[in-house]
Amino acid sequence: MVKDYFEECTLEGPTPAPEMEEDALQALCRYDWPGNVKELREVLDKIWITGLTLGRITLRDLPENIRKLRIEPGPLDFGSYGSLEEAEQSWEKSFLIHHLRKQGWDLEQTSQALKTDPQSIRNKLVHHGIRLPEQNGDRAPLLQRTLKRSVVLCGSGLHSGIKTGLILQPMPPGSGIIFLDITSGQTIPARLDHVVSTDYSTCLKKGLATVGTIEHIMAVLHMYRINNLLIKIGDEAPVMDGSAKDFCTLIEDGEFEEQDGFYEELVIEKTYSFGATDPGGPSISIEPSDRLRVSYHMEYPEPIGVQEFTYEFTGEESFRKEIAPARTFGFL
């Protein structure tokens, strides 16, 4: 049935069907599909888009609940190592990073925990290219983060109404968040100097390529501390149900991978105020705090009316439950 569906999609356009690896096909066959054909079609729609972009469909491209339903343990990533020594080196590097993080990146404490002299640990850090971050007061350094595998989301554009979607793909440390126009191949780094409009949505532009309505996906990436990611997309991000819930689910399905590089948090050391000074006008004020706390006041015509809300970030779960469900609204 899967092969028949791909052949059907191929007949609708000039693009040949992507190749599906055998373990991915077996995983689809093992799943009991409680939603029957409808659920299968929805999954195939998503992995079809992945296949068109990446050229093939692997086990990693399937949803987590299907991917993890295994009869026996798979080969993991053992095939990526060319020798036993290479595998041992990779394990040792991950082992050192794990214990350094556990000890707050304190070299002396790490050497004591591992019952190894500090100089031996230093030599291994140099060998593996691991750099200890500079400590900044009481704040522990943070590792950069990406996803473990590519994930896909399909929907429609809010402003264009056109069927669209996006593919999130892992990137190496220091890459940042990069949008890639799947039509032209042009990349647009998610940087302030590429913002060309914030009227009703945030729009980036570089050269002739533009991407709009990125505020929900960018908010989710920030709150989940995703630093490095390639976002393959058309002209506009899908609006889904108007909230950010589906984007949270999407990146959670991709799982998180801590990387070797570190990043510095932006610290607010004084108060900044922008916008109208008269009461009732749009304005924003940012001031120092030992935690992220946002208070919002809005005044709109009925049925929205006057509303206030204060949110304090206590972790990814608090964002997913308290902020992500908020939906876009408009007036006719």
Pair of tokens at residue 142: 């943070």
- The whole-number pLDDT of residue 74 equals 40
Q: Which candidate, 258, 265, 264, places its Cα nearest to that of 147? A: 258
Q: Which candidate, 148, 149, 146, 158, places its Cα nearest to that of 47? A: 149
Neighbours of 300 (CB within 10 A): 11
Supply the pTM of this predicted model. Answer: 0.64
Pair of tokens at residue 242: 């108007």
Tell me how far CA of residue 300 lies from CA of 146, 233, 274, 303, 330, in angstroms: 38, 33, 20, 8, 11
Using CB atoms within 10 Å of the CB of residue 128, give its burial: 0 to 12 exposed, 13 to 18 middle, 19+ buried: middle
- Separation between Cα atoms, residue 159 and residue 38, nearest integer Å: 28
For the chain, 332 residues long, give each residue's pLDDT as a single digit of tens.
Answer: 566 656 555 554 555 666 777 777 777 776 666 555 566 666 776 666 555 445 667 777 777 667 655 433 344 455 656 788 888 888 888 888 888 877 877 889 999 999 999 999 999 988 887 777 665 555 556 789 999 999 999 888 887 777 888 999 999 888 899 999 988 889 999 999 999 999 888 999 999 899 999 999 999 999 999 999 999 998 899 999 999 999 999 999 999 998 877 887 788 899 999 988 777 788 999 999 988 999 999 998 888 899 999 999 998 999 999 999 999 887 76
Kindly list the structural domains of the chain, giving each domain's residue range(s) and its CATH number in brackets, ordered by start.
2-67 (1.10.8.60), 78-132 (1.10.10.60), 146-263 (3.30.230.20), 272-322 (no CATH)
Q: How many helices (H) and strands (E) does the chain have?
A: 10, 16
- Separation between Cα atoms, residue 159 and residue 317, nearest integer Å: 30
